[in-house]
Structure formats: structure tokens, C-alpha cells
Structure 1
Amino acid sequence: MLRQTRFASRHFSQGILAQRRMASTKTIREALEEVIPKKQAQLAALKARHSQSVLGDVKVEHVIGGMRGLKAMLWDASVLDPLEGIRFHGLSIPDCQKQLTAAPGGKEIIAESMLWLLLTGQVPTEAETRQLSRELAEKGDLPKHVIDLIDSLPTTLHPMTQLGMGVAALNHDSKFAAAYEEGIKKSEYWTHTLDDCINLIARLPALAARIYRNVYKPGQEIPAINKDIDLVGNYVNMLGFGANHDLTEYLRLYIAIHGDHEGGNASAHTAHLVGSTLADPYLSYSAALYALAGPLHGLANQEVLRWQLDMQKELGNNITHEKIKESLWKTLKSGRVVPGYGHGVLRNPDPRFVALQEFCLTRPDLLADPVIQLVKQTSEVAPDVLKEHGKTKNPYPNVDAASGCVLYHYGLTEFKYYTVIFGVSRALGALTQLVWARALGLPLERPKSLSLEAIEKLVEGQ
């Protein structure tokens, strides 16, 4: 019955989304001005009727286990189901690939169409997407003080450290911070937050590309932003790979599907937490980037690729499933984990991994690449090995198992930079939810902490 209700709800929502394609073109701000009052009313009704309703029981394992699975955060843009995977406002990744706008001459989702969906809950028309692309391009140039800052940094400083510094420095021009200083009404917080979020998303490609050029391609001129192409198209141009259409398409897909993954992951949660203090979006997202830089979060994709390359070197040519199985057991028996497998929430293969694998299946050059073949073969062997090992709740590949190998194939081989690309992507979800946190008037986040002694007293008294 529940599945039928979900299906009917999705079918109805998709019908509404289809009708919107025929509607008149509006800006993303105008779209938000329509949907925010409805969501505010929904929240008010929920508070009035169910503020004392119980969503679940807090257990000791939640308090001492990283709050894993604890239902304690409002995040509308995406929901992660353990079996179905991620849905963005009810749409699966295949749904998004069918419904969201691609670039002219391309097939993959572009960041602008995903940004519109995450922010408004609506599928944009093609005209609305192109309009947003132009707006982002027109706002994409870096101010001189940020250029000077990034150019002054040692090239040995980690790219993620540089990215966080650059994002924080952009707060010099924060519309929200300036308006708050003047004393604006709470009902206007979201409008200035939106300005900052759009400006930050617009400038991230230029910032990220400048870091790449300084660290890995010093002395090369960075192309100007082209006002007639999409955000990722400009990003790839500025990186120096603009002639590679397939890499551009891959990064369009990569950035769109990495954009949001519920609010509880470390980077999104950090942005939400810092934003709840009314810090401006630049400061909030710079904090999120440093969470993303951790090896248990965004840094994982480079570790997976390094591990697969080491396996390839170890096993040599004519790699078989049996050889891979032996290598996997060698890794596990040494006390290490198999990188790229398992997930804190998912209990099935990650739909993002599936989408990236399907991208590879459409391109003969990728299918012929030994590293990509090894990634595919490992995904066929590893689940059974991990099930037999018995120490993981999810023996299936996550997105990190596939994401780095295609970048490596196309010549973007600098591992330390991979998390910067993730950082450009994750802004789509983390920043849009800052707008909604201000629109809904969400409070300062302040959970209650407990000492070990306090926990022992509580449980022993039960």
C-alpha cells in the first residue's frame, strides 16, 4: 500500500513537472517567491499539529556512534533510501537524466538544471535553464583580491585548503552580511542568502580552475568565461580541457549527481550547522569544504583510484576474477578496508556508481581502458568477497569506486585535485538548503551532549 502511495505521488508530481515545461519562463528568484510561502505554510501546519510527535528513539549507539541514522535534521532537496538510493525532490537519477536539461549538443544533465530542481522542487524549462546559465556566467569572474590571494599561495598547499580559503575570502562581498549589518527583517534573510549562493556557485569554477592551473599548469593563461555556455562547460575550458567533449559531458553528469546526498553527510551537515549561526554562505561553505577534505568523506575517490592502480600493477596483464578475488582477500586479511565499497546509509549498489558505469558503457575508448575494466571487474567480484568476509553492512560499490577512473582516463590525473571537483559539485545542494533554512526560519542548531558518566547513569536507571 505504501509503495502504491509513493508511486501515485511520484506520478502526480511528474505530471505537474511536465505541465511546467509549457509554462512561461521565470527567473529562479521568481520561482522561489512562488514556492516559499507554500513551504512556510506547510512547516507552520506541521509545527502546530505534530511538534510533540515522536520520530524515533535515541539510543546509546546514536550518541557514541556518530549519530548514524538519527532522524534529527530537516533537508528537503533530497532523500536517501537505503534500498532505492538517492531521489532529488522525488526524482531518481534516471528520472533526472530523462527530465533535466542538457547542454546544446550534449546528453548529460547540466549543473544549472539540477540547481533549479534542488532549489525550487521544479524541473526547469529549457529557456529557464539557459537563462540561469547566462546569469551564472555573467557573475562568474573572480574579484581581484581573491585572484591575488590564490596566486600568492604556495603551490605545495593542498588544493582543498586553497579552495576553502578562496571561498571564505569571497565573503568580502557578501550581500547577506552587508544586509544583516544594516538590520534587515528575518523575512528577507533568504533573498540576500540567495544572492550569495548564486554568486558563489557562479564563481566556484573560476576559483577551482585557477587553483588547478597554479598548482599543476603554472604559467598557462586561463580562458575567459564564455557567456553562451553552461557552468561546467566553462569550468572544463578554464581547466584547459575544453576540446575534450567527452570529459565535459562526464563532468556535467558527475557534478549534477554529486550535488546533493541528503543533509546528514559531513559536508552538507557542516554547511547547515555553520549556516544556522547566520554566518554568510561563503563562511558556511568554506567550513563544509574542509569537512569534504577528510579521507572518510570527499577524499575517498582518490584513495580508491590509487588502490585500483596498485592492484593493476600487482596483478599485471590478463587480470581474471580469481586474481581480483585473491587481491581483495589480501587487502582484507591485512586489516585494511576495500576502498569504494560500503556506505553509511545505502544497502544496495549506489545509483551514482551505476550512472557513471553506464556512461562508460556508451564509449568504446572507456571500455577499452584497462583501469576502467578493472573497476568494472572488481565491482563484479567484491560484493561476494565482502559478504563472505561478513564485516560490512553494504558490500556493494559506492560512487567513489567509479568516479576517479574516468577523470584519470581523460588526462586529469592529479589525484589531490579530485576533491576540489567534488567541492564544486556539493555546493549545489549545501547552498540551496541554506536558502531554505533562512526562508523557513530554522533555528540555531544546538544538540545536547552527554558525558560517559551521564550516559551510564541514564541507562543503568532504566
Structure 2
Amino acid sequence: MSFLTLHRLAPKLLNSKVRRREPHDNLKDVLADLIPKEQTRIKNFKQQYGKTNIGQITVDMVYGGMRGMKGLVYETSVLDPEEGIRFRGYSIPECQKLLPKAPGGEEPLPEGLFWLLITGQIPTEEQVNWVSKEWAKRAALPSHVVTMLDNFPTNLHPMSQFSAAITALNSESSFARAYSEGVHKSKYWEVREDLQTITKGPWSGKTVTCVSCNFLLMMLFFNTSDHEGGNVSAHTSHLVGSALSDPYLSFSAAMNGLAGPLHGLANQEVLVWLTALQKELGGEVSDERMRDYIWNTLKSGRVVPGYGHAVLRKTDPRYTCQREFALKHLPNDPMFKLVAQLYKIVPNVLLEQGKAKNPWPNVDAHSGVLLQYYGMTEMNYYTVLFGVSRALGVLAQLVWSRALGFPLERPKSMSTEGLMGLVGTKSG
């Protein structure tokens, strides 16, 4: 399978029904009403509180990857350490309940989540259908991108193919053309490119009814669709977009970050680890034997992949969502049973060890097993699916970054000597 094959096959697996558009269903019209109000609200807020101190920066934060620093505005989602992710104020269970679904489907449609991320409003079925129609009109790949994908060597990682293809789509950038023609900065958000980069994904504009496709929707839209702005891929798209790079370039940069083993490749690493565990221990094993295996892993200086999170201090709500799906649809799958057994044992071991700030599983502890169960056995493609999902959040935020006139992102860097001088300590 190639990335191009994935793009070509998906429309055959998915089916859509689009209704006639009503004037109030047009997303651009809705944004045209929302944006001036939000511009005024933020302008007033900055005038009154612009000089207010909202936190302190420590030397540990500077050396520790800027974790915990409040230094970025990201409107579409918020990640709370105790509560988990909220999309425009809605939790994952609330989104599952409130967002429109395909006929016979159980999981929200991508068009509905995208509408929510952009507008902050739960869409109607008509509004979702309008988005579906707009996406479908723009789903085709230009011939030069198809040729490029066909000519890539078979050993080129799918994420590299994905990123390169997105970059090559820059030839279609209406934003880049409008900017070169001198469009006013107040109109940057109106360029339809900001809303259509997402449509080049393999599922664009389609709705589904079968259980396996309900699974695909759940995986795509609640796995990595949005996870506030500080993670590598979201922050990268924001940073590159702040240079007024067009959405294709911004999203491609984000995908290069997502391709890293500490970010989007993590679930692939979890599945490799689970497979090795299963091979070594055999079939069903006792909790005590599993506990010994986990302790031996930790004592050897290794970690238990899929456990812990940079922000969360509880079980990842996305893990919980996937666990509930598995309990319903594949309760007897051996790999799911293994994941469930680890969920019962690993947190207590990590708590006993006393080193982990968060001993609970994250989304990567579960997602690979579900993908494998539904026949997606080529692990190198897992991150591509998550990358398609990530387009929802980062492109929705890009629209608002342009609408609110966010400036070029340019934090101040310092040398170790400079930091030492800042805190009054001499080097050495």
C-alpha cells in the first residue's frame, strides 16, 4: 500500500449524501459575523489587561523544552492536566453526544468537528452537509502530485511522502496568489485556501455507516484532531503560519514534527513493544507474571511506552474513549486483553516506583491495537492517519490566527552564559 493508494481507495469505502445548501449554512458567512465580534473582544481585553503578569519563567523551564510556559494563544482546544481535552469547551463525550453523525453511525462526522473547532458552535446537519459539499469539490489531487507520489521509492516512509505531497500542493495555494497580488491583511482569513487544505486527506467530505468506519472516524477525530497549541505539530503549524507561509507549507511543517518518535510515531512504538511482550510471555499470563515483566523493564532503564503524558495527570480521555469502543466491539481480542491487563497493572507499578508524575495511559497505549484489529497492519501508515486528523485543529486555528492578526512568532533565546548572568551567577 502507498499513501496514494490510501487516497484513492478511501472514497470507495466511504459514502456521502449532501443536501442543498441554505444561506445560513455557509461557513464563511458565519465566520464573517463572528470574527469582528472576536476582534473587538480581544482588543478590549488587551487594552485593559495587556500588561498583566500571568506567570513566571524559571531556568528549568528554559532548559526543559519551555514546558509550562504560558506563551501561546490557541483558541480551538484546551488541555487541562486533570480534566483532559476540551474542544471549544466541549469534552470528548459531549462531542460524541452532540455532534451530527452519519445515518446509522455512532461517531461524529469530521465536518461537524471542524465546524465546532472553527466557530465554537455545535453545527446543524445542514451546516455539516455544506462543509461536506465544499470539501468534496476540492478533494482531487493535481496530476503533478500524483506523479511525484508514484515515483517515490517504496522504502520512503509514508510520513515523508505525506509531507512532500502537501508541500507540492503549494502550487494550488490561493492564499499565496492573493498575497502576491496585495490582498489586504484584514482579508487574509477569507482566502478559501485556509479551509480547503484539509480536503486533500483520504476521507474528505465522506460519511460512513459501518462499524469499522465508525472506528475510523473515532480514531481520526478524537485521537489527534486537536490537542491545544503547545504540542510539536500544532505549535509548528502556528510558528510557520506566523511567517504568513500558506496553509500547505504550514501543515507540511507540522507533519514533519508529527513524524518524530516522541510525537506521532509513539503509538507505533507501543505496538512494537506489545508485540514483543506477547511473543516473550506467550498467550494469557497471570497478573503477577505481568507485574514482574513490567518491573524488569523499568529496572533495565527502559520505560513502559504509552504511559505518562507531558500535561495530563489522569488517564487520557482519548484512551478511555477507545477502551469503551473496544469493550463494545472487540472484547475478546488478545491484544486488547493485553492492553486492558496492562491498564490494571502498570499504573500501580509506576506509583510504587515513585518516579512518574503521571502513571496513567495516554492515547498511544491503545490506538495501535485498534488499528491493527481493523486490518491496518502496516504500522508506518498509522501516523499518516493521525496527520490527516491533525489537519482539523491546526487549520481551524490558522484561520483565527490570520483573522486576529497574530504577529510573527519570535521568542527571545539566551545562551547559558546569558542565563547565568541573568540570575546573578558566574560561569563555572
**TM-score when normalising by structure 1:** 0.85
Aligned residue among 382, 387, 403 for 2:367: 403
Q: 1:247 Cα deviation (Å)?
A: 2.2
Q: Distance in 2 between matches of 1:360 and 1:97?
A: 16
Q: Distance between the aligned counterparts of 2:38 and 2:267, measured in 1? A: 36
Residue 176 of structure 2 corresponds to: 177
Shift of 1:24: 7.8
Contact 2:291 2:349 in 1 (8 A): yes
Distance 1:25 1:323 in 2: 60
Amino acid at match of 1:264: G
Question: What is the aligned partner in structure 2 of residue 415 from structure 1?
Answer: 379
**1:361 and 1:369 mapped to 2: Cα distance?**
10
Give the SS at the match of 1:460.
coil
Which position in structure 2 is the counterpart of 1:4?
none
Decide which moves more: 271-280 or 103-112. Answer: 103-112
Alignment RMSD? 1.5
User: Matches of 2:183 and 2:346 in 1, distance apart?
Assistant: 55
232, 249, 252: which is aligned to 2:214? 249
Are residues 1:133 and 2:99 paired?
Answer: no
- Equivalent in the alignment of 1:18: none
Quote the residue 2:228 is aligned against: 262
Partner of 1:344 in structure 2?
Answer: 310
- 1:83-162 equivalent positions in 2, closer than 5 A: 83-162=82-161
TM-superposed CA distance for 1:246, in Å, is 2.3
**Whole-Å Cα distance in 1 between the matches of residues 295 and 319 of structure 2?**
23
Deviation at 1:367, TM superposition (A): 0.8
Match of 2:259 in 1: 293
1:247, 1:407 within 8 Å by CA — same for their partners in 2? no
Question: Which one-letter code corresponds to 2:215 in the other structure?
Answer: Y
SS at match of 1:150: helix
Distance 1:461 1:150 in 2: 55
1:430 aligned counterpart, secondary structure: helix
Aligned to 1:272: 238
Alpha-carbon separation, structure 2, partners of 1:197 and 1:252 = 22
Q: Which residue matches 1:389?
A: 353
Q: Is the 8 A contact 1:25 1:125 kept in 2?
A: no
Task: Find the counterpart in structure 1 of residue 199 from structure 2.
Answer: 202
* In 2, Cα distance between equivalents of 1:345 and 1:24: 41
Q: What whole-Å deviation, never above 9, does each CA across 1:94-127 have from its counterpart, x for those lacking one? A: 1101100111110101111110000111110011
Match of 1:433 in 2: 397
CA shift for structure 1 position 27: 1.3
Q: How does 1:333-372 map to 2 (within 5 A)?
A: 333-363=299-329, 366-372=330-336
1:112-150 Cα distance to aligned partner (Å, 9 max, x none): 111000011111001111221122122111111111111
Percent of residue pairs bearing the same amino acid type:
51
What is the one-letter code of the residue matched to 1:402? H
Which of 257, 269, 272 is the aligned partner of 1:306? 272
**Which residue identity does 1:185 align to in structure 2?**
H
The DSSP-based 3-state class of the residue aligned with 1:86 is: strand
Question: 1:290 and 1:389 mapped to 2: Cα distance?
Answer: 35
Distance 1:317 1:247 in 2: 26
Whole-angstrom CA distance in 2 between matches of 1:147 and 1:377? 44
8 Å Cα contact 1:79-1:261 kept in structure 2:
yes
The alpha-carbon deviation at position 199 of structure 1 amounts to 2.0
Distance 1:181 1:384 in 2: 58
Aligned-pair distance for 1:315? 1.2
Given residue 137 of structure 1, which amino acid in structure 2 is its aligned partner?
A
Residues 375-403 of structure 1, C-alpha deviations (whole Å, 9 max, x = no match): 11101111001111111100000000011
1:245 positional shift: 2.5
Residue identity matched to 2:201: L
Q: Which residue of 1 aligns with 2:287?
A: 321
Following TM superposition, by how much is the alpha carbon of 1:276 offset from its aligned partner in structure 2, in angstroms?
A: 0.2
Q: Please state how far the C-alpha of 1:25 moved relative to its aligned partner.
A: 4.0
CA deviation after TM superposition for structure 1 residue 460, in Å: 2.1
1:207-257 deviation line (CA, Å, top 9, x unaligned): xxxxxxxxxxxxxxxxxx8x7x33xx5xxxxxxxxxx92221111011111
Q: Secondary structure at the match of 1:362?
A: helix
Q: CA deviation at 1:461?
A: 5.9
Q: Residues of 1 paired with 2:379 and 2:341: CA distance?
A: 22
> Matches of 1:52 and 1:198 in 2, distance apart?
34
CA contact (8 A) 1:118 1:429 kept: yes
Q: Give the partner amino acid of 2:417.
A: E
Give the aligned partner of residue 8 of structure 2.
none
Conservation of the 8 A alpha-carbon contact between 1:177 and 1:280: yes
In 2, distance between residues paired with 1:296 and 1:460?
A: 35
Alpha-carbon distance in structure 1 between the residues aligned to 2:240 and 2:32? 25
User: Higher mean Cα deviation, 85-94 or 134-143?
Assistant: 134-143
Are the equivalent residues in 2 in contact too, given 1:140–1:202 (CA < 8 A)? yes
Deviation for aligned residue 1:318: 2.4
| Contact 2:24–2:30 (Cα < 8 Å) also in 1 | no
Query: How far does residue 52 in structure 1 lie from its aligned partner after superposition?
Result: 0.5
CA contact under 8 A between 2:297 and 2:304: conserved in structure 1?
yes
Shift, 1:369, TM fit: 0.6
d(CA) in 2 for partners of 1:391, 1:457: 32
CA deviation after TM superposition for structure 1 residue 63, in Å: 0.7
